[in-house]
Amino acid sequence: MHLSPTAPSSTRLSDAARPAASITRDWTCPFCALLCDDLAIESHEGGRLAAPAANCPRLAQALACYGEADARGRCSVGANDTDLDTALTHAAQLLAKAQRPLFGSLATDVAGARALYTLAAGCGAILDHLHGDALSAATLALQDRGAFFTTLSEVRTRADLVVFFGCQPSRRYPRFFERTLAASPMARDLVFVGCEPDVAAPGLAQARVEAILPDADPFDTLALWSALSEGRAPGALRGGAAHPADAAGTLAALQARIAAARYTVLVYEPAALPGPHAALLIEALHRIVKAANRTVRAGCLALGGDEGALSVNQTVTWLSGLPLRTHVAAPLDHNPHRYRTARLLANGEIDALLWVASFAPPAALPEISGDLPAIVLGHPALAQAAKARGGATVFIPVATPGIDCGGHLFRTDGPVVTPLAAARRAPLPSVATVVAQLTARLNAERTAQEQP
């Protein structure tokens, strides 16, 4: 585990032109899994936040979700405001009655995940994340065939050929090119396979950008390309209905460039791959990279893990030995299909939902029956939707890691755990704090029920 050695610093700024603000430098942004750590964020009177130099629309959209009202966020039970103590009591009673609860969304950090796992073990809950489909595809491919990953710093310092498969990173990760490639004087080829070039790529100095087979079916492309990577001659693959001769020749030429490159990185986004069998595509991409490593250096970079997906998955895996989509009961049961949130809700297989949405914009509650008891630990902006649901809905506003509390998140390239510092301090509890209190209440509730 790697921890960043630099701690962010805060200063108070004020001048005639601007209202007073405190500014945190070297702040780490928690709003996508790139976890950019080179930012300065301003916290203004009233709770407004701004990062004017960041040039990131995703960050700007997230920061627009924070304001003065957050500090006044109230808990609720049904349609009525209440205090934290009452909300926790109701939530514990609700979980004590549940036979098969689902803990969904799970948009939190490492500490939140640790606390949620303990609570799940206490009530036999199923764990799934908001990005469970993309996570599960990656996990299935890893379990079946292994993986060959690289890191953002390897891309920055070594990659002379970067191949993007079916993705344009700046759509979801606006600063990807700025953070990985822009600052380096190294000459590189950027090849987009199965899509048009990313609009952010042509602006890079020293980079030659091209697209190949932009409209091809991704399954056809990877079937052909992985066969070529294993040494099949293009001539042996030509003429088939699914493999036009020009596709075979184009991919053979790309394979030759990989063989001649010093270091190839193959970038993909699990969430951008077509479902429901994205795992097959991920397997093929890693097969190509593994084959390349017999003679040259190459690695895959998977972009994903937002809203704490990677962090929660890693935490649950080290605590239980199994990834998300696990039923935390005796015995533990992991099933990426059976424990999919959408399926569980559609089939009425759960009797309570705990929904965690601590980042912004916050993940809204899914469409669920009005009878299904729900506990929402979320951004204060979710309060109205929770109250509108009425009935057995408990809402507790929580802090966002990196905004109103510290925390830790895993970066998209896996082994790096990044500490987060609060940009402001609205008086909201962290997910870990609330869940620890809820676990204590649940244990007390159980003890009370067992009294003669």
Residues that bind ligand SF4 (CB under 6 A): 29, 31-32, 34-36, 54, 56, 58-59, 173-175
Q: Amino acid identity, residue 336?
A: P
Nearest approach, Cβ of 34 to ligand SF4 (angstroms)?
4
Tokens 């609860």, residue located: 101
Nearest approach, Cβ of 311 to ligand SF4 (angstroms)?
14
The beta strands (E) that lie in 346-443 are given as 352-357, 374-378, 393-397, 407-410, 417-420
Nearest approach, Cβ of 450 to ligand SF4 (angstroms)?
47
- From residue 104, alpha-carbon distances to 259, 353, 366, 376 in Å are 44, 7, 10, 10
Helix and strand tally (H, E) in the chain?
14, 20
Nearest approach, Cβ of 59 to ligand SF4 (angstroms)?
4
Contact 117, 328 (CB under 8 A): yes
In angstroms, the CA 204 to CA 187 distance is 10
CA atoms within 13 A on the CB side of 154: 18
**55-61, Cβ contacts within 8 angstroms, sequence gap of 24 or more:** 55/174, 55/175, 55/178, 56/29, 56/174, 56/175, 57/174, 58/31, 58/32, 58/172, 58/173, 58/174, 59/29, 59/31, 59/174, 61/361
Q: Considering beta carbons, is residue 4 or 320 the nearer one to ligand SF4?
A: 4
In angstroms, the CA 354 to CA 377 distance is 8
Q: Considering beta carbons, is residue 59 or 354 the nearer one to ligand SF4?
A: 59
Q: Considering beta carbons, is residue 54 or 91 the nearer one to ligand SF4?
A: 54
- The continuous run of DSSP H or E covering 103 comes out as strand 101-107
Q: Considering beta carbons, is residue 173 or 339 the nearer one to ligand SF4?
A: 173
Nearest approach, Cβ of 188 to ligand SF4 (angstroms)?
20
Please tell me what DSSP assigns to residue 416: B
Nearest approach, Cβ of 241 to ligand SF4 (angstroms)?
42
Q: Considering beta carbons, is residue 356 or 420 the nearer one to ligand SF4?
A: 420
Nearest approach, Cβ of 256 to ligand SF4 (angstroms)?
34
Nearest approach, Cβ of 79 to ligand SF4 (angstroms)?
34
Tokens 């925390």, residue located: 407
Nearest approach, Cβ of 284 to ligand SF4 (angstroms)?
28
Q: Considering beta carbons, is residue 59 or 191 the nearer one to ligand SF4?
A: 59
In angstroms, the CA 105 to CA 309 distance is 9
Nearest approach, Cβ of 55 to ligand SF4 (angstroms)?
9
Q: Considering beta carbons, is residue 272 or 298 the nearer one to ligand SF4?
A: 272
Q: Considering beta carbons, is residue 389 or 411 the nearer one to ligand SF4?
A: 411
Q: Considering beta carbons, is residue 290 or 408 the nearer one to ligand SF4?
A: 408
Terminal Cα distance for the chain, rounded: 48
Contact 258, 252 (CB under 8 A): no
Q: Which residues of 402-413 are buried (b: 16+ CB within 10 A; e: fewer)?
A: bbbbebbbbbbb
Q: Considering beta carbons, is residue 53 or 256 the nearer one to ligand SF4?
A: 53
Q: Considering beta carbons, is residue 61 or 80 the nearer one to ligand SF4?
A: 61
φ and ψ at residue 41, rounded to 5 degrees: -120, 135
In angstroms, the CA 9 to CA 255 distance is 47
Nearest approach, Cβ of 82 to ligand SF4 (angstroms)?
34
